[in-house]
Amino acid sequence: MSDATSLDRAGSQPAVRPAMLNRLRYALRVSMREPTTAIGIVIALVFTYLILAPIVTMLFQAVSVQFGDERRTAAEAGAGTLYYLNRTFFSAISTDLFWRPLLNTLTVAGSAIIVSMVVGIPLSWLVSRTDMLGRKWFATALIVPYMLPAWTFALAWTTLFKNRTVGGQPGWFEALGLTPPDWLAYGRVPITIILALHYAPFIILLFGSALRRFDSQLEDSARMLGARPHHVALQIILPLMRPALLSAIVLIFAKCLGEFGVPYVLGLPVKFEVLSTSLFRNLASRQTGVGAVIAGSIMALGVLTLLIDAKLVKEARRFVTIGSKGTMNRLTRLGVWRLPLTMFALLIFVISVCLPLLTLMLSTVMKQPANFAISNFTLDYWIGTNLETVALRTGILLSPDLWAAGWNTLWIVGSASIVSGVLGLLVGYVVVRTTWRPLSTFLRQVTFLPYLVPGIAFAAAYLSLFAVPRGPVPALYGTVTILILALMADQMPYASRAGISAMMQLGKDPEEAAQIAGAGWFRRMISIVIPIQKGSLVTGVLLPFISGIKGLSLFVILAVPSTDVLTTFSMRLVDYHYTQAANGVVLIIAAMAYFGTLAAQKLTKTNIAEGLGG
């Protein structure tokens, strides 16, 4: 090769220049012609720092001596140790730290899944395949529980069932003289019921849409061969619906794993712990090492679930051919059952939406619980002044703390959502367009990673990386920056998925047509790609925004009073037993989430099902 170069330099013939060099030059010219790959490399580095680094740091913390534990481990801080693993999994207190919370998590998730199936499967059938009354209305109404934060229901539950075990204002039943037993007031039973009602919409959405896509001709063929309706249901419909059902179950399980608010509100009074609350307690008491082990375990469970899901999805592909062309959807006539079954759906709606919201609403305008005398009603908790309380002496609407928290929510969640929406579209662009495959694969995987990590574990990971100064980066704990960064990273799976699918859908053609017409990269971005993707950009910002507003698990670990958002503010009020005020704040959040979702749907004409992951 050096010979060839010298020959070239001697000026013999430009045509015999080393082929390798020219090949490289060609490749370079082709790839550097556009900034796509360069941009991709930059965002890949950003995500390595914002997603990969915190998780790795946290996993590392689980096996190295934490500051303050030198005596117990008889080793220097930072040295490798199995102390935390030992303590979490094998020591005398491992039962309390890990095993019982694990068992509780699994049983609660399991029973929540069963209950939500029992409720959700009939409902999804009613909504998608029958002539029940008000079918269209129910299709939206039954999804509402998922639009509201889960712990809204937890607070409603305590408002109704709280007993004398815990101080503060008693629940309505207690006030009426009917003391609810502990098992009904707190712990496993209410947590299971609430999670089941909150996640039943998953079944209705996923199972229902599979039912709708189901081709009636498949049913008809079975019937032509003499199968009775129950044969058709058991031997044709159910087996074909299995993939959709399984993936809904997996999704619910993964969500239950990271659920924090509900077990926190309802489990703590009776020391009923799940993994997420155990993690929270350990972090709150500065047991970072053990915390890291628990967070790692939650992550491992999450990964396991996702692996199972991936396998199921692969299996489900075998059924893809169904419902292809001749899809016909015929509604079953319910006949005499029409009214009773409609009432059943209505009952579920009342239990899962009306009752809790009404309870919360009433509780914020009543001085004493369950006293329905006119004199007991007041708007003091909303707009009162000079109240006779230790703190919060005004109604919440007049409290500067609420407005500060509201403002924080808006701009922290807002800016994180905007950044993640834009980054998501960029990721989508690079993933679809770059000619450099490894970059595309890496970006897709790294942005998906937070999906495997339940919010509370992800927050713990952020704490590990950013709680202390590292290199040029100062300690970020207690700042707004850490909240925005964590929130943004946590939302990347949805944002990047939205971006990738939007870019896939757009295809190359419109951009290539502009290229042929003479448009360079920036011109194409500004005149073609961004204007066409406006809609999906709006969705990519709005959906994370809504899920961010009602999100609790990230904030509860990373927020401090000065960076309170509405969710953590309401939790603090719960902790101090300002029941009415807490319920008021929760209602505000619920309203924001609900109307935000509606607005997003109207604005983008998208289906809520697509934003389901958020």
Partner 1 sequence: MPTIELRDVQKSYGGQGANAVRDLNLEIGDGEFMCLLGPSGCGKTTTLRMIAGLENLSGGEIRVGDRLVDSINQGVFVAPEHRHMGLVFQSYALWPHLTIERNTDFGLRLRKVPKAEREQRVDAVMRVLDIEKYRHRYPSQLSGGQQQRVALARMLAVNPNVLLLDEPLSNLDARLRLEMRAELKALHAAFKTTIVFVTHDQWEAMTLATTIAVMNEGTLQQMGTPDDIYERPANRFVAEFVGSPPINIMELGSPELSERAFAMKKFLAEHFPSLAGVGSVGLRPEALHISEAGEPVPEKVFQVPGVVTGILPTGGNWILELQCGDGTLFLTTHEVPEVAVGTDVTVWAKPKSLHAFDSAGRRIEEADRLMRTPKKAVLTKAPKLKELAG
Residues that bind partner 1 (CB under 8 A): 14-15, 17, 19, 21-26, 29-30, 33, 435, 507, 509-510, 512-520, 523, 527-528, 531-532, 534
Rounded distance, CA 543 to CA 613, Å? 10
Residue 532 CB, nearest approach to partner 1 (Å): 5
> With respect to partner 1, which residue has the nearer C-beta, 185 or 425?
425
Minimum gap (Å) between residue 7 Cβ and partner 1:
15
CB of 13 vs partner 1, minimal distance in Å: 12
Contacts of 571 (CB under 8 A, 6+ apart): 261, 264, 552, 556, 582
At residue 177, the 3 state secondary structure works out as coil
Of 304, 352, 49, 45, nearest to 194 (Cα)? Answer: 352
Three-state SS for 424-462 is HHHHHHHHHHCCCHHHHHHHHHHHHHHHHCCHHHHHHHH
**Nearer of residues 36 and 297 to partner 1, judged by Cβ:** 36
Give 257 or 529: the residue with its C-beta nearer to partner 1.
529
| Contact present, 392 and 578 (Cβ < 8 Å) | yes
CA 488 centroid distance within chain: 12
Nearest to 409 by CA among 265, 592, 577: 592
Minimum distance from residue 443 beta carbon to partner 1 (Å): 19
- Compare residues 118 and 513 and give the one whose CB is closer to partner 1: 513
Dist. CA 565–CA 572, nearest whole Å: 11
Shortest Å distance, C-beta 247 to partner 1: 31
Paired with 470 in beta bridges are 473
What DSSP line would sit under 250-308, residue for residue? HHHHHHHHH--HHHHHHHGGGT---HHHHHHHHHHTT-HHHHHHHHHHHHHHHHHHHHH
**Distance in Å, CB of 509 to partner 1, minimum:** 3
Residue number, 26 or 403, with CB nearest to partner 1:
26
Q: How far apart are CA 75 and CA 66, in angstroms?
A: 10
Which residue, 285 or 527, has its beta carbon nearer to partner 1? Answer: 527
For partner 1, give the closer residue by CB, 415 or 515: 515
Dihedral class, residue 387 (left if φ above 0, else alpha if ψ from -120 to 50, else beta): beta
Pick the closer one to partner 1 by CB: 31 or 179.
Answer: 31
488 CB-side CA count, 13 A: 23
Tell me the closest approach of the beta carbon of residue 546 to partner 1, in angstroms. 26
User: Are residues 488 and 541 in contact, defined by beta-carbon separation less than 8 angstroms?
Assistant: no
Task: Name the residue nearer to partner 1 (CB basis): 239 or 520.
Answer: 520
Closest to partner 1 by CB, 32 vs 328, is 32
Nearer to partner 1, 474 or 531 (CB): 531
Min dist CB 36 to partner 1, Å, is 13
Smallest distance from partner 1 to CB 535, Å: 10
List of long-range contacts for 213-222, beta carbons under 8 Å, 24+ apart: 213/322, 213/323, 213/327, 214/240, 214/241, 214/322, 214/323, 214/327, 214/329, 215/322, 215/323, 215/324, 215/326, 215/327, 215/328, 216/327, 216/328, 216/329, 216/330, 217/326, 217/328, 218/322
**Alpha-carbon separation of residue 551 from 459, 488, 614 (angstroms):** 12, 12, 10
**Cβ at position 526, least distance to partner 1 in Å:** 12
Beta carbon nearer to partner 1, 40 or 493: 40
Per-residue DSSP letters for 303-335? HHHHHHHHHHHHHHGGGTTTTSSS----PBP-G
Beta carbon nearer to partner 1, 26 or 595: 26
Query: What are the percentages of helix, strand and coil residues in the chain, rounded to 5?
Result: 75, 0, 25
Whole-number minimum distance, CB 19 to partner 1, in Å?
7
Smallest separation (angstroms) from partner 1 to the CB of 28: 8
Q: Is the Cβ–Cβ distance between 381 and 366 less than 8 Å? A: no
Instruction: Quote the least distance from Cβ 55 to partner 1, whole Å.
Output: 32
d(CA 495, CA 533): 13
